[in-house]
A and B are shown apart, each in its own frame.
Chain A
Amino acid sequence: MSAAAATLVRAPKGVTHALETLGAWVLAILWVLPLLYAFWTAFHPAEFSTHLVLSAPWTLDNFVNAWHAAPFARYFFNTVVLVTMVLAAQLVLVTLAAYAFARFEFPGRNVLFALVLVQLMIMPDVLIVENYRTMTFLGLKDTILAIGLPYMASAFGIFLLRQTFKTVPRELDEAARVEGCTPLQTLWKVYVPLARPTYIAYALVSISYHWNNFLWPLIITNSPETRPVTVGLQVFSATDQGIDWSIITAATLLSTAPLLLAFLLFQRQFVQSFMRAGIR
């Protein structure tokens, strides 16, 4: 009964259903079209980039040319260093702060929490002018550390993890204390293992955010030794080299390939992580 009843309201029948399926597919095709077109251009010789014929020969030359035209290996290395460094720092800082907010009583707790939440609205992305000044003052301009530093204390992470820590039964906490655990040991042995799904969700969101971040790294870096791959790609495609779209799209796909591959392989985890990160 229940399934049938649910079907009555949820799933339309006949013509409506067919029309909706058609609509969903048209939208999906529109959505993948830009990517398919980019793939076509990147894997075919330049003369076929705007000439869609099935007999066009496939080639990897565009990728090879792009790879040799700019220090992409170095850019990738920089991005990996950046993403790892930011994530590692975030995990430590966010865990400690979330634990303090979730399970400790101290004066000023609510005010401090409100101050943390300010960052959800005013992200480092919009404070570029002042943060540039600060980095100049600290002598950190044009370093990978400077790209990551403003993001290391993440209000979003503190909020997310605090919610998770609050769901841990207090009895577990007390049991650990009776066994003689210090607060930090309790955090490590009780809270962190129980919050694993939240950590995974947060890590995936953080990695894709920092892999993709562009404006701040563009401003604060100035040399191939520090540029992440997004900025490298922009520097590469903006230089006058007689716009060769085949090479530019190849470079574009190249720079997104690791993240895109990871996404296609772990699609379910990605989607679930983004879901989990959104539900508060």
Chain B
Amino acid sequence: MTRTRQWLYGWLMLLPAMSLLVLFTHYPAVANLWHSFYSTPKASRPSVFIGLDNYRNLVEDPIFWQAFTNNLIYAAGTIPLSIALALLMAIWVNGRIAGKGFLRLAYFTPTVLPMIAVANIWLFFYTPEYGLVEQISKGLGFPSHNWLGSQSTALGCLMVVTVWKEAGFFMIFYLAALQSMSPHLAEAAAIEGASRWYYFRRVTFPLLMPVTLFVLINAVINAFRLVDHIVVMTRGGPDNATSLLLYYIYEIGFRFWDSSYAAALTMVLLVMLGLAALAQFVFLERRTHYQ
């Protein structure tokens, strides 16, 4: 094939996918920045250039800061816990343990369910007076507590749901890596008389590092991307205690219809995701040096 024909084929085959990507990923990201410098059009007056006013409002908006802090707490709480549990589950399911098939099924099932269904089930779990959580805590003699209705516990309750939903998903990636690990390593370690913990710390865990990175990046993205359960369980309440960044964008953009301010908020989210991308790039660079 001639060079020009190669070029032509390459470009033509890319064209359909690329145009959709530009239309629904690249264009909106750029247009979003553009629109964040304008005011929201109203019936009486059209959209006008207002410079950084949206960002000034943002810095002074206590609810934005609360949603932002909530999101960081949410990420810091759910990510390490679900990764640690995922690793533990994978090691258990990979070893010689009774009822392995059932265990794997139990850990993985929440992953297949829609977050919205999961949220409905857990909402019932947390219901004051009737819910299973209340029944158990009352049975143990604790006073009644409105888990989702009080500011101190609501975010924690949502974090539990997220860990429950995600750990089994991450387990799969660890399991795949564990299964492809050479048995010679374990033999060598056994001959050297290494303890199980030592073997995990010095052999298994370092070898799983690429998986941990992959899972970590996915977990970070999910912490900023998935707010379905908030729509169902708390609607950001009580008093914004469970509002996350994307949920706040949804509220501003589609309940108060302030699209310009929502655009400015989206920029913050894009910056956070960009930072995650940068971190991944830096770490992957380091990994290639290593090998």
Contacts and interface: CB of A to CB of B under 8 A. Distances in A.
B176 A34 contact: no
Interface string A158-180: 10000000000000000001000
Contacts of A218: 231
Contact of B24 (A2, A32, A112, A150): A150
B13 A96 contact: yes
A230 interface: yes
A129 B121 contact: no
Given A5-B186, A122-B270, A245-B130, 20 more contacts: A9-B189, A31-B107, A31-B164, A93-B16, A93-B20, A100-B13, A119-B25, A121-B221, A123-B221, A123-B225, A126-B225, A128-B249, A130-B32, A133-B259, A153-B17, A153-B20, A183-B9, A215-B228, A237-B232, A263-B112
11 contacts: A6-B187, A20-B92, A31-B109, A49-B130, A105-B7, A118-B26, A121-B277, A125-B246, A133-B259, A214-B115, A230-B117
B38 interface: no
Given A6-B187, A128-B249, A149-B20, A35 B109 contact: yes
A127 B29 CA distance: 7
A260 B113 contact: yes
A1 to B, nearest CB: 8
A215 B231 contact: yes
Contacts, number: 285
Nearest to B246: A126
B205 interface: no
Of the listed residues B18, B169, B224, the one surrounded by the most CB atoms of chain A closer than 10 A to its CB is B18
A256 B117 contact: yes
Interface residues of A, number: 99
Contact of B95 (A11, A34, A49, A263): A11
Interface of A: 1-2, 5-12, 20-21, 23-25, 27-29, 31-35, 37-38, 41, 49-50, 92-94, 96-97, 99-101, 104-107, 109, 112, 115-116, 118-119, 121-134, 149-150, 152-153, 155, 158, 177, 183, 208, 211-212, 214-215, 218-219, 230, 233-234, 237-238, 245, 248-249, 252-253, 255-256, 259-260, 263-264, 267, 270-271, 274-275, 278-280
Interface stretch (B54-62, B98-106, B144-152): B98-106
Q: Which of A100, A119, A134, A155 has the most CB of B within 10 A?
A: A100
B23 interface: yes
A127 B14 contact: no
B68 interface: no
A20 B190 CA distance: 20
A272 to B, nearest CB: 9
A129 B116 contact: no
B186 A126 contact: no
A237 B120 contact: yes
B172 A274 contact: yes
Nearest to B214: A278
Contacts of B122: 34
B218 to A, nearest CB: 8
Given A2-B183, A122-B273, A129 B262 contact: yes
